[in-house]
């Protein structure tokens, strides 16, 4: 059936309320089952042996002594995961990352795996696997990796996106460029130009649940995988490709997910668990330790960024440019490209140019982390904008309002914007009581803006009307933060029934059509669009059934508030048929009632936020405390406002950790020195104040209810907002993230000694 | 390695089990007793996802040996509700949307219960410092602190 996704203004009954989430009781009683909470009969314990070297050739692996350990049932190395990738480089990179083939490329790279009857046997076997390495020179720093004499990660890599292609290999995988106009003439028109260089260190998503799965391969080629993932359909495809399984024969069930933030969009141990199970002939449970999570999964890019912005005295930006260098880990991806696209997305610029460089280093493969690549670019740009406003003697909010993008602006990365929220969030900031509140000694205030694209993507949903008139909604996007509640609200709204009469579940890969991952803030956006479509299809069926019961033409049956109604005076004596009555009669009117929906959910509305932050800097220790924090963000339409606020607060908290504490610290030997929560310190409860939120609703014209994704943008502004606040508090411009006490103290001491 | 026989009380039930001398209480709860509400987020006592109450004191069960449970009284998340009647903290966590992914929630609830058992009227600062041993990566703690304060208020009302 044709589905019209166009936004139509309406008065909502369910959407916008704050009911209890359907998975709440399971999660407060300990009953919810996460990745590590599932067991199968005869299950073995899997463990992985990881490289202690940042870069080395694997000369020899001898597993004989390990195989002799009592209780060991299977050992796999790269030879047990033959290359079936058929020239697909990105798939090969996933395979090579799951199990190193000829070289190990970072500290923590997997080289072998064991399945044994218990953890002790598995651990003992790991110790007895002999790996002979030829250690190679390594490089972990982004700028050092770009130098001509840097150790090469991949000797066959020649920079793409450059004409002509270079004749010598390098660690720069790809150059990308965005923008329009002529920046040289733009800078020539400027009265003031500010040019600065920035660095940000590598951070981890820091989900509290380590990666975990249970894999079971049968001798008939069928297999099952229970796993914590942001996208079980994508995991199914990747695992089937890497193991040579038929997609239909691999059934993947997503567990409850204990945080992902992008880090669970990639397979890490799952293909290895399947390979172990295939070899052992028994199910295998493989759970990463926290140390493994840090060393071998997830992190975001470390970056080095140059920004140059020019403006006239009247406050008009005349030109803006950025050069962005992002670590990718040892495999080429598009992280700098995303940074280059998002850098100046908040502004209406005549002349703009951004250039991104993907840089390979001996660090773990970079994974998406909430609005991936945008926070670092925003840190550099929004810090420079702040300094420029200062030089111009303008209020930083007013300066941004004057240059903000609006409907019709050609964005710095290409598309022309529809209705957007950057202007409104800035205006809300301007009139927010926070900006007028008094500041104490050593305190300062900063603000910054952020942007994220939001994605849509392939989505499939089933809506079943049960015989008692209640509804079961099966979706294929993993619920990472309350989407079963928001999608139940959407179904209730469209059908005109109570929220409590809808039960939403995340279906496994065998029972629903393909869905892309829950990424790009797409979960509620795309699955709600598919749910509305499925509900409308179910309503179509129910109108038809009512028409049959009444023996009138279906065109004369309308749907209002959960009831079929016969329209027109000639049917004056027909009382409405409720969904319960239609469902109860369904066995005699044509059978079960369902609505299905398959679509590519296009038109995810772009998202903008403005954050305001007060800090207090201790001049003796360099320690920074967040005193007050306000998030203002456009949600399009907040389906379940409590969980929208939760997304705003959670993203801000992650950004605060990134800004002030979190970083990967490598030794001279290229080994990660802080792979644990003690030394990689994420914000704890006593570090933070309440995080105030203001939800703006500028409807997305491409969604029936106006919904935009809300999950990611909130992590984009904090780095710059806090840097700007620190600058305001103590008069020093911090250009290196994290702004940890030693860095701030060093900057204060430099200032004092000048 | 010879197993150690242990007799203990968990959620008011007398429980006996055998465990290895080097086995953590967390592994015993999860792997031997089927009490999987306590989660392993780190295994080093840094995240609090495995928090349980032992003889009235909040502990990371990953840092306690199974054998140390001998003769003790242990409370886990599975024993927090009274049958179908949720503890006020559990109700308030749901009501305030104080969980997103929920993996840290059992640990937070146990830590918050230990707090309110010791201090029925905590300030915001006391709540924040008491819960500083439990990591949450989703919420920014805002709604957790509010839920705990609200539960404390409700429980005080009932006592009065």
Specify the residue for token string 């953890």. Answer: A119
A709 in any annotated domain = yes
CATH number of A512's domain: 3.30.365.10
What stretch of H or E contains B26? helix B25-27
Write the DSSP string, A109-157: -EEEEEEESSHHHHHHHHHH-EEEEEE------HHHHHSTTSPPS-TT-
Residue A205 lies in a domain: no
A594 and A708 fall within a common domain: no
- pLDDT at site B1: 65
pLDDT in tens, A355-392: 999 999 999 999 999 999 999 999 999 999 999 999 99
Question: What's residue A572's pLDDT?
Answer: 82
CB–CB of B137 and A654 under 8 A? Answer: yes
- According to the model, what pLDDT value does residue A298 have? 87
**Shortest alpha-carbon distance between residue A177 and chain B (Å):** 34
- B106 and B47 in a single domain? The answer is no
- Mean residue pLDDT of chain A comes to 97
Q: Quick check: A691 and B81 CB within 8 A?
A: no
Same domain, B68 and B116: no
> What's the whole-number mean pLDDT along residues A735-743?
98
Cβ–Cβ below 8 Å for B99 and A24: yes
Q: Which of B80, B133, B137 sits opposite A208 (nearest CB)?
A: B137
Chain B closest CA to A662's CA: distance in Å? 13
Average pLDDT, integer, range A330-352: 98
By the 8 A CB rule, do A290 and A242 touch?
no
Q: Which residues form the domain of A114? A: 44-136+210-257+264-296
A460 and A449: one domain?
no
Measured distance between the N- and C-terminal CA atoms of chain A, rounded to whole angstroms = 72
Identify the H or E element spanning A645.
helix A641-660
Per-residue pLDDT, averaged over A561-589, amounts to 94
Last residue of a domain, one of B79, B108, B141: B79
Give A700's pLDDT tier (boundaries 50, 70, 90).
very high
How do residues A116-158 score in pLDDT, each as one tens digit?
Answer: 999 999 999 999 999 999 999 999 999 999 999 999 999 999 9
Sheet holding A212-217, edge to edge: A72-76, A110-116, A44-50, A284-287, A212-217, A223-227, A250-254
Please tell me whether residues B8 and B69 are part of one structural domain. Answer: yes
Which of B76, B90, B132 is nearest residue A684 as measured by Cβ atoms?
A: B132
**pLDDT (0 to 100) of residue A754:** 82
CATH code assigned at A76:
3.90.1170.50
Q: Does the CB of B92 have a partner CB in chain A at under 8 Å?
A: no
Could you tell me the residue range of the domain that residue B9 belongs to? 3-79
Q: Where are the beta strands (DSSP E) in A677-727?
A: 691-696
Q: Tell whether A152 is covered by a domain.
A: no
| A625: closest CA of chain B, how far (Å) | 14
User: Do A617 and A689 lie in a common domain?
Assistant: yes
Which residues in chain B are contacts of A685 at CB distance < 8 A? 127-129, 131-132, 134, 136, 141, 144-145
B94 and B152 in a common domain? yes
Whether residue A504 contacts residue A471, with contact meaning beta carbons closer than 8 Å, is answered with no
Question: Last residue of a domain, which of A544, A572, A601?
Answer: A601
Q: Which residues pair with A610 in a beta bridge?
A: A449, A632
Q: A354 and A226: one domain?
A: no
Look at residue A720 and tell me if it is in a domain. yes
Interface mutation vs chain B, best among A29, A630, A715, most B CBs within 10 Å: A29
Q: Do residues A324 and A343 lie in contact, with contact meaning Cβ atoms separated by under 8 Å?
A: yes
* Shortest CA distance from A292: residue in chain B: B42
Cis peptide before A227 (omega within 30 of 0): no
Asked if A210's CB is within 8 angstroms of B138's CB, the reply is: no
My answer on whether B92 and B71 are in the same domain is no
CB contact under 8 A, A30 and B46: no
pLDDT level of residue A557 (50, 70, 90 thresholds): very high
Domain-ending residue, one of B45, B62, B79: B79
Do B47 and B69 lie in one domain? The reply is: yes
CB of A251 closer than 8 Å to CB of A224:
yes
The answer to whether residues A112 and A129 touch, using CB atoms and an 8 Å cutoff, is yes
Together in a domain, B107 and B54? no
Q: Is residue A13 part of a domain?
A: no
Q: Does A737 lie in the same domain as A648?
A: yes
Q: Which residue has the tokens 């405390």?
A: A625
Q: Within this chain, do residues B74 and B14 fall inside the same structural domain, yes or no?
A: yes
Tell me what the mean pLDDT of segment A8-30 comes to.
97
Asked if B23 and B68 sit in the same domain, the reply is yes
- The tally of domains found in chain B comes to 2
Find out whether A75 and A280 touch, Cβ atoms under 8 Å. no
The reply to whether A378 and A525 lie within a common domain is no
Give the CATH number for residue B56.
3.10.20.30
Q: Which two tokens stand for residue A625?
A: 């405390």
- In this structure, the answer to whether residues A587 and A646 fall within a common structural domain is no
Specify if A544 maps to a domain: yes
Q: In this structure, are residues A150 and A139 in contact, taking their beta carbons and an 8 Å threshold?
A: yes
Distance, CA of A73 to chain centre = 37
Among residues 50-69 of chain B, which lie with CB inside 8 Å of chain A? none
* Average pLDDT of the segment spanning A256-282: 97
| pLDDT value at residue B62 | 98
Preceding omega of A99 cis (within 30 degrees of 0): no
Q: Which residue on chain A is closest to B105 by alpha carbon?
A: A28
CA distance A144 to chain B (A): 32
* Residue A465 and residue A336 in one domain: no
* Strand A110-116, strand A172-180: pairing: unpaired
Q: How far is A575 from chain B (nearest CA, A)?
A: 38
- Find the CB nearest B101 among A258, A290, A684: A258
Taking alpha carbons only, the member of A66, A79, A64, A77 closest to residue A126 is A66
Residues B97, B121, single domain; the answer is: yes
Q: Are residues A553 and A665 located together in one domain of the fold? A: no
Task: Identify whether residues A661 and A548 lie together within a single domain.
Answer: no
Q: Which residues of A touch B125 (CB under 8 A)?
A: 686
Q: Would you call B21 an interface residue with chain A, using a CB distance cutoff of 8 Å?
A: no
Q: pLDDT confidence of A51, banded at 50, 70, 90?
A: very high
Over residues B41-68, the mean pLDDT reads 98
- Whether A324 is covered by a domain: the verdict is yes
Inform me whether the pLDDT recorded for A463 exceeds 60: yes
In this structure, is the dihedral angle defined by the CA atoms of residues A267, A269, A272 and A274, taken in order, positive or negative?
negative
CATH number of the domain to which B155 belongs: 1.10.150.120
Residues of A in contact with B147 (CB under 8 A): none
Token code pair at residue A408: 């019709």
Identify whether the C-beta of residue A380 lies closer than 8 Å to the C-beta of residue A322.
Answer: yes
* Same domain assignment for residues A657 and A596: no
CB contact under 8 A, B86 and A28: yes
Domain presence at residue A177: no
Confidence grade of residue B2 (pLDDT, cut at 50, 70, 90):
confident
* Domain termination residue (choose one: A601, A623, A639): A601
Return the minimum-mean-pLDDT range out of A73-87, A568-582, A683-697, B97-111.
Answer: A568-582
A464/A413 same-domain check: no
Average pLDDT score, chain B: 97
Cα dihedral A742, A746, A748, A752 in deg (nearest 10): 150
What percent of chain A is modeled with pLDDT above 90? 98
Total count of domains within chain A: 3
- Residue B160 above 80 pLDDT? no
| Contact assessment for residue A51 and residue A111, using Cβ atoms and an 8 Å cutoff | yes
Cβ neighbours of B138 in A, within 8 Å: 259, 481, 646, 650
CA A583, A586, A591, A596 torsion-angle sign? negative
Picking from A601, A616, A631, the residue at the C-terminal end of a domain is A601
Q: Please report the ipTM that was assigned to this predicted complex.
A: 0.98
Is residue B9 domain-shared with residue B74, that is, in the same domain?
yes
pLDDT at position A1 over 60? no
pLDDT at A93 over 60: yes
Residue appearing with tokens 């009265």: A191
Same domain assignment for residues B64 and B92? no
Q: Do B43 and A290 touch (CB under 8 A)?
A: yes
Q: Quote the strand ranges of A476-529, DSSP E.
A: 502-506
CB pairs under 8 A between A and B: 175
């Amino acid at each position: 059936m044709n589905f019209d996704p166009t936004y139509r203004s309406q008065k909502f009954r369910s959407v916008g309320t704050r009911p209890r989430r359907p998975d709440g009781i399971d999660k407060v009683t300990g009953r919810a089952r996460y990745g590590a909470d599932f067991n199968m009969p005869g299950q073995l314990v899997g463990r992985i042996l990881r490289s202690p070297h940042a870069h080395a050739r694997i000369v020899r692996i001898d597993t004989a002594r390990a195989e002799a350990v009592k209780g060991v049932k299977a050992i796999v190395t790269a030879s047990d995961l033959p290359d079936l990738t058929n020239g697909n480089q990105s798939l090969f990179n996933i395979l090579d990352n799951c199990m190193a083939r000829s070289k190990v490329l970072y500290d923590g790279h997997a080289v072998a795996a064991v399945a044994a009857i218990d953890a002790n046997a598995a651990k003992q076997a790991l110790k007895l696997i002999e790996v002979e390495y030829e250690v190679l020179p390594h490089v972990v720093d982004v700028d050092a990796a770009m130098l001509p004499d840097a150790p090469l990660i991949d000797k066959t890599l020649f920079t793409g996106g450059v004409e002509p292609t270079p004749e010598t290999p390098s660690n720069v995988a790809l150059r990308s460029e965005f923008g329009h106009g002529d920046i040289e003439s733009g800078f020539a028109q400027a009265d003031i130009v500010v040019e600065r260089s920035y660095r940000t260190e590598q951070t981890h998503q820091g989900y509290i649940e380590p990666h975990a799965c249970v894999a079971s391969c049968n001798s008939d080629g069928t297999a099952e995988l229970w796993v914590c993932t942001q996208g079980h359909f994508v995991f199914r495809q990747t695992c089937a490709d890497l193991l040579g399984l038929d997609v239909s024969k691999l059934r993947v069930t997503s567990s409850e997910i204990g945080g992902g933030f992008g880090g669970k969009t990639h397979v890490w141990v799952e293909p290895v668990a399947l390979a172990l199970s295939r070899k052992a002939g028994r199910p295998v449970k493989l759970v990463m330790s926290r140390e493994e999570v840090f060393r071998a999964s997830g992190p975001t890019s470390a970056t080095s960024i140059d920004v140059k912005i020019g403006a006239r005295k009247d406050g008009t930006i005349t030109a803006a440019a950025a050069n962005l260098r992002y670590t990718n880990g040892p495999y080429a991806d598009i992280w700098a490209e995303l940074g280059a696209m998002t850098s100046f997305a908040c502004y209406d610029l005549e002349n703009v140019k951004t250039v991104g460089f993907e840089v390979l280093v001996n660090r773990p493969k970079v994974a998406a982390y909430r609005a991936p690549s945008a926070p670092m670019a925003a840190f550099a740009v929004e810090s420079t904008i702040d300094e420029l406003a200062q030089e111009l003697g303008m209020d930083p909010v007013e300066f941004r309002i004057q240059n903000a993008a609006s409907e019709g602006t050609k964005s710095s990365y290409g598309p022309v914007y529809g209705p957007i929220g950057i202007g409104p969030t800035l205006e809300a900031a301007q009139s927010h009581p926070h900006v007028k509140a008094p500041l104490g000694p050593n305190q300062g205030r900063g603000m910054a803006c952020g942007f994220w694209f939001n994605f849509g993507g392939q989505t499939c949903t089933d809506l079943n009307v049960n015989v008692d008139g209640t509804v079961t909604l099966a979706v294929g996007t993993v619920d990472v933060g309350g989407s079963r509640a928001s999608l139940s609200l959407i179904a209730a709204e469209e059908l005109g029934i109570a929220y409590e009469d809808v039960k939403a579940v995340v279906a496994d890969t065998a029972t629903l059509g393909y869905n892309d991952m829950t990424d790009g803030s797409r979960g509620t956006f795309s699955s709600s669009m598919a749910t509305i479509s499925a509900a409308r299809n179910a309503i179509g069926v129910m109108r038809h059934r009512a028409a049959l019961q009444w023996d009138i033409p279906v065109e004369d049956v309308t749907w209002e508030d959960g009831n079929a109604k016969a329209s027109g005076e000639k049917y004056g004596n027909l009382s409405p048929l409720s969904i319960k009555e239609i469902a109860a009669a369904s066995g005699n009117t044509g059978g079960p009632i369902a609505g299905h929906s398959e679509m590519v959910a296009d038109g995810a509305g772009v998202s903008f936020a403005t954050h305001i932050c007060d800090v207090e800097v201790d001049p003796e220790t360099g320690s920074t405390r967040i005193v007050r924090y306000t998030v203002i963000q456009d949600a399009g339409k907040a389906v379940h406002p409590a969980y929208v606020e939760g997304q705003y607060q959670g993203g801000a908290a992650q950004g605060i950790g990134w800004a002030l504490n979190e970083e990967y610290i490598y030794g001279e030997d290229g080994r990660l020195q802080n792979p644990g929560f003690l030394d990689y310190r994420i914000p704890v409860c006593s570090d933070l104040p309440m995080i105030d939120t203001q939800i703006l609703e500028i409807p997305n014209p491409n969604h029936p209810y106006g919904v935009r994704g809300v999950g990611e943008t909130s992590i984009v502004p904090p780095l710059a907002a806090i840097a700007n606040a620190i600058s305001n508090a103590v008069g020093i411009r911090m250009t290196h993230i994290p702004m940890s006490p030693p860095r701030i103290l060093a900057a204060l001491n430099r200032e004092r000694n000048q | 390695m010879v197993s150690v026989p242990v007799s203990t009380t968990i959620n008011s039930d007398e429980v006996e089990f055998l465990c290895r001398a080097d086995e953590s209480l967390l592994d015993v709860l999860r792997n031997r007793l089927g009490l999987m509400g306590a989660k392993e987020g780190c295994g080093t006592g840094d995240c609090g996802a495995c928090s349980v109450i032992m003889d009235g004191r909040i502990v990371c069960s990953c840092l306690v040996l199974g054998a140390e449970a001998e003769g003790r009284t242990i409370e886990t998340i599975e024993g927090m509700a009274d049958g179908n009647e949720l503890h006020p903290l559990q109700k308030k966590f749901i009501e305030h949307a104080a969980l997103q992914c929920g993996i840290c929630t059992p640990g937070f609830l146990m830590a918050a219960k230990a707090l309110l058992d010791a201090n029925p009227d905590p300030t915001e600062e006391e709540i924040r410092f008491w819960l500083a041993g439990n990591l949450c990566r989703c919420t920014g703690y805002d709604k957790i602190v509010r839920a705990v304060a609200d539960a404390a208020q409700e429980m005080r009302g009932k006592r009065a």
